[in-house]
Structure formats: structure tokens, C-alpha cells
Structure 1
Amino acid sequence: MVTLEEISQLLYGAGEEMLGWQGTQDELIELAAKMFPGKAFCIVRQWILINLTVTSAEKDKLTTLGLLPATLFAHEIVLDSKGRFQPSMWVRSNFGVSFSQGCMFETKSTVYLLLGAGREKRLALALLFR
């Protein structure tokens, strides 16, 4: 069972700082449109890139499915291109399929655009689903 302390550490504890996108929001949208034409995007702030600790069997399964052992949590949605999420809500993504430019976390359906500074943390896969 996951404790309140573990959840608190994941959401609010220290992690390795990452810079994310440092330019304007419009420049980030333009870059995403070039790299992922037609794909839905979600701009987020106060984000956490969660690299999952997986067994070799779990890694093999994810690789077979074309997935990374990583997910994203963001405390604040700035803009969702499809209107699925309202500004200021939080979001946790599905598994990633790519991470590029240090600011674009892609899942099968969405590219999360990481605005400003965020954190990178590690978490056991088993804890993610508890």
C-alpha cells in the first residue's frame, strides 16, 4: 500500500530540476505543430517527468508496445488544444512514446508541452498504479 508520505514526496518532494521550454508559449506551440502536425497538445507548468523503475520483463512488455517506462504529472494545465482539460487543472499522462527537445513528452494521443522549470523523479511501476 502506498503511504501518504510517498504520495507527498512524489508530488511535492525534491527531484532533479529540468528546465523545460524557456521561450514564449506561442513559440512552443509553433515548434510542436512542426514536429507533431495535427496531434493534440497540452501545455503544462509545474510538471514532473516520472521515470519508472521497471523489471526487465516489464521493460520488454513496454518496448513491445512502443512505450517508454515514463509518465508525466503536471500540477497546472495552461492550455489544452482539444478542450479536454480546463486551465489550472492537474493531469497525469499515459505512458510516453517519445521525449524530445527537453520539453515535449509525447503519448499516443497527446504531446505535453513542458513550459518552464519542472522536476524529474523516479518511481517504481508498481507504485504508479496503487
Structure 2
Amino acid sequence: MVTLDEISQLFYGAGEDAPGWQGSQEDLISLAAKEFPGKPFCVVKQWILIDLIVTAEEKDKLTKLGLLPATLYAHEVVLDSQGRFQPNMWVRSNFGVSSTEYMFETKSTVYLLLGDGVRKKAELSTVFSFRA
């Protein structure tokens, strides 16, 4: 069972500083449109890139499905291109399929990482224990 302490550490505990986009939101959206034409995007701030702690078997399963053992949590949605998430809401992505310095891609969305964030490790059960 996931404890409140585990969730608290994920949200507020120490992590490794991770650089995000420092330019304008419009420039980041333009860059995403060039790299992922037509793909829905979600601009986020105060984000945490989470490297999932998984077993070798779980990692193999994810790899076979073309997924990374990683996900993204953001304390603040700035703009969602499809209106799924309202500004100031939090969001947790599904498993990633690719990741660059300023973008985290899932099968359905490219999350645009506005401003600096944090990189952390967490158990799979902890990350997927909370829902909107």
C-alpha cells in the first residue's frame, strides 16, 4: 500500500534540478509544432519528470510496447491544445514514448516543459496511485 509519506516525497521531496524552456510560451509551441506536427500538446509548469522504479520484467514489457519507464507530473497546466485540462489544474501523464530537454511525449500528447523542473525516481505504484 502506498503511504502518504511516499506521495509527499514525490511531490515535495528533493530531486535533481532539470532545465526546462526559458523562452516564450509561443516559441515553445512553435518548436513543438515543427517536431510533432498535428500532435496535441499541453504546456506545463512546476513539473516533475519521474523515472519509474520497475523490475527488469516490467522494463522489458514497457520496452516491447515502445514505452519508457518514465512519466510526467505537473503541478500547473498552462495551456492544453485540446481543452482536456483547464489552466492551473495538475496533470500526470501516461508512460512516455520519447523525451527531450523541453518536451515529454506520450502516445497521445506532447507535454511542453515551461521553466525549470525536477527529475525524481519513484515506485510505479506510488505514481499511479493518485487520479484526478
Q: TM-score range by the shorter chain?
A: over 0.9
| SS of structure 1 residue aligned to 2:44 | strand
Which residue of structure 2 aligns with residue 78 of structure 1?
Answer: 78
Which residue of structure 2 aligns with residue 128 of structure 1?
Answer: 127
Aligned partner letter, 1:57: E
| SS of structure 1 residue aligned to 2:8 | helix
Aligned partner letter, 1:80: D
| SS of structure 2 residue aligned to 1:48 | strand
Q: Does 1:31 align with 2:25?
A: no
1:15 shift after superposition: 0.6
1:117 shift after superposition: 0.8
1:105 shift after superposition: 0.1
| SS of structure 2 residue aligned to 1:21 | coil
Aligned partner letter, 1:5: D
Which residue of structure 2 aligns with residue 8 of structure 1?
Answer: 8
Unaligned runs of 5+ in 1: none
Superposition pairs of residues 106-117 of structure 1, within 5 angstroms: 106-117=105-116
Unaligned runs of 5+ in 2: none
Which residue of structure 2 aligns with residue 119 of structure 1?
Answer: 118
- 2: CA distance, partners of 1:77 / 1:28: 15
Aligned partner letter, 1:12: Y
CA deviations 1:82-122 (Å, max 9, x no partner) are 0111000000000000001x110000000000000100000
CA RMSD after TM alignment: 0.9
- 1: CA distance, partners of 2:121 / 2:93: 15
CA deviations 1:28-64 (Å, max 9, x no partner) are 0000000000000000000000001111110110001
- 2: CA distance, partners of 1:15 / 1:33: 30
1:127 shift after superposition: 2.9
| SS of structure 2 residue aligned to 1:108 | coil
1:2 shift after superposition: 1.3
Q: TM-score, normalised by structure 2?
A: 0.95
- 1: CA distance, partners of 2:19 / 2:79: 19
